[in-house]
Amino acid sequence: MMTTMCSISDRRYITVLLSITVVFLFADQNLLAPNLTMIADEFGFTDKEKDDKLGANIAVGFFIIGGPIALIAGDRLR
């Protein structure tokens, strides 16, 4: 088994890069959640439609788009 040693600056760089990736990956969750009721009222959604369309589908869509982008960005900066 091969082990590699990372310098302190490498560890800081990796930590900062991972933190930035997580922030961008989950940023939409914090923006949308407080406003779900207002958005649902604007579009005339019922409570079930609000949960299905806004609570689930949009979050999955952002994850599907944001996940690969985060992986690509992390790989390019490596």
Average pLDDT over residues 25-41: 79
pLDDT tens by residue, 50-70: 888 887 887 788 788 878 887
| pTM score of the predicted model | 0.45
d(CA 75, CA 18): 11
Average pLDDT over residues 6-29: 83
For residues 39 and 54, the answer to whether their CB atoms sit within 8 Å is yes
Distances in whole angstroms, Cα of residue 20 to Cα of each of 2, 33, 36, 38: 29, 21, 26, 29
For residues 24 and 63, the answer to whether their CB atoms sit within 8 Å is no
Rg (CA), the chain: 18
